[in-house]
Amino acid sequence: MADETAGAVTREETEGEPALKRVMGPGLLLLFVVGDILGTGVYALTGRVANEVGGAVWLPFLIAFLVALLTAFSYLELVTKYPRAAGAALYTHKAFGIHFLTFIVTFAVMCSGLTSASSASKAFAENFGEAFDLTLGEGIGLTAVALGFITLIGLINFRGVGESVKLNVLLTVVELSGLLIVICIGAWALSGGDGDLSRLTDFKSAEGESPFFSVTAATALAFFAMVGFEDSVNMAEETKDPVRIFPKVMLAGLCITGLIYVLVSISSVALVTPEELGEGDAPLLKVVEAGAAAFPLWIFAFITMFAVANSALINMLMASRLLYGMANERVLPKALGKVHRTRRTPWVGIVFTTVIAFGLIWFADLTALGGTTSLLLLCVFTVVNVAVLVLRRDPVEHKHFKAPTAIPVIGAIVCAYLASPLSGRSGDDYRVAGILLVIGVVLWLVTWLANRQLQRQT
């Protein structure tokens, strides 16, 4: 166990690069997982899910949790087998050895992280303006705050993983408090005779659509709120004894967040009708107003601001470690794997991902990328569930977690279904994802030609 972990470190050191710094124990890793999953999804998605299934809004969140749990078992087998940075891209590379497929998976995961971080930066700027009663508008003021925020995230990331995860602890506690407030207000109101629990079984579907397809369409939406657990495997080289602690920590993090989401859903639909939840962009604020009218609502602006800040921080951490890991596997240019000798952080990857985030904030329309992010990750999860089966023929010397064979098989089928048009997913998700993948193919071709030219020169 220890030998495998040590081997992953000394490999970089023998090439003249310092190792990443191991600072994350079970507690910090658990807060990383919980903070990443909670993110901002549930703050906005509850209303959209209610539009699809009515009062049974808790059901898609429960199914999304179960789908995430299936895929988590595959990730746990692979991260304990190969405790190195790069996550899904590394597993794809080892399982199939196809440079193009590995590059596209790397690009898809990076896109999911950077679009989430960039969207969170803009959301932070909007909440910053609301919290401090500033008129930022939709132009240069909003963009300037978002760019300043992502710059700050980059500096914290560069400063060190210790500083980053300590900030994550603070932000996770704040965003968790917002959801616990909703749950407590719901329990308090229901105990006082307010609310209507009968709505929980009030299922609706679109005219002419079967209940099954309504639930799967809503689950495809709700799944965006469950993603994030996969980011933690990119921190394997900065985790103390990852082979031992990852299984219990990741599963605990998923169960905690799954329970919170179901309780938030129950509180929401018990206090506010599904029709009202589905109107506007702040469904949980309506729940607080309905259950505790005297509660100071401005507090929620601050809580949401911290929640989106945490989402940006964790996704930028993940993206930079992904590039670092793939550079060490020679899938990406070697320069992206450089580690700062003093700070022991992947500084070139941090600079590169921060610059891309600048471009997304400045040029891209990030308001509707949640569905695209969910689609890309479901495709990646399908590949990971297949990869874990393929890599069973690649034994390692140390003991590691092993998932029951049926779980990755079921996980691959379910993830592929939710990523397909059969799930009722919006066509816009496929159009945006298609554009991103075309860009990825172009970048792969440029990388392949550059690597070929370097091989000729050497």
Each residue's pLDDT tens digit in the chain (458 positions)? 344 444 444 444 445 668 888 889 999 999 999 988 886 667 767 888 888 888 899 999 999 999 999 999 999 999 999 999 888 999 999 999 998 999 999 999 998 888 888 888 888 887 787 767 676 666 688 889 999 999 999 999 999 888 898 898 899 999 899 899 999 999 999 888 888 898 898 887 766 677 788 888 888 888 888 888 888 998 999 999 999 999 999 999 999 999 999 999 999 999 999 888 887 667 888 888 888 888 887 787 788 788 888 888 999 999 999 999 888 888 888 888 899 989 889 999 999 999 989 988 887 666 556 678 888 899 999 999 999 999 999 999 999 999 999 999 999 999 999 999 988 777 888 888 888 889 889 989 988 887 787 777 76
Encoding tokens for residue 316?
């930028």
φ, ψ (nearest 5 deg) of residue 248: -70, -35
Q: In whole angstroms, give the CA distance from residue 330 to residue 90.
A: 11
> What's the pLDDT at 78?
96
Cβ atoms of 282 and 140 closer than 8 Å = no
pLDDT at residue 143, rounded to an integer: 87
d(CA 127, CA 310): 14
Tokens of 56: 């049974």
Q: With contact defined as beta carbons under 8 Å apart, do 36 and 176 qualify?
A: no
Comparing CA positions, the residue from 32, 1, 15, 37 lying closest to residue 238 is 32
Scan for tokens 């490999």, then name that residue: 11
Q: According to the model, what pLDDT value does residue 458 have? A: 65
| Domain count across the chain | 1
CB atoms under 10 Å from CB of 124, counted, come to 25
Which pLDDT belongs to residue 305? 82
Angle at 409 between CA 407 and CA 210, to 5 degrees: 95
Task: Give the end-to-end CA distance of the chain in Å, rounded to a whole number.
Answer: 37
367 three-state secondary structure: coil
Q: What is the CATH number of the domain that holds 68?
A: 1.20.1740.10
Q: Report DSSP letters for 224-237, one per residue.
A: HHHTTGGGGGGGGG
pLDDT of residue 369: 64
Please tell me the distance from the alpha carbon of residue 27 to that of residue 34, in angstroms, as a whole number: 11
How far, CA to CA in Å, does 189 sit from each of 55, 165, 193, 275, 303?
Answer: 18, 36, 7, 20, 21
User: What's the whole-model pTM score?
Assistant: 0.85
Lookup: tokens for 438: 């075309």
Given a contact cutoff of 8 angstroms between Cβ atoms, the answer to whether 291 and 72 are in contact is no
Give the pLDDT confidence score for residue 34 in this predicted structure: 92
Which residues fall within 8 angstroms of residue 43, CB to CB, at 6 or more apart? 178, 282, 284, 304, 307
Whole-angstrom CA distances from 251 to 35, 169, 233, 314 are 14, 18, 13, 19
Structure tokens at 111: 């896109």
Among 438, 433, 413, 436, residue whose Cα is nearest residue 423: 413
DSSP for 127-178, written as a single string:
HHHHHTT---TTSHHHHHHHHHHHHHHHHHHHH-HHHHHHHHHHHHHHHHHH
What is the domain extent for residue 246? 2-457
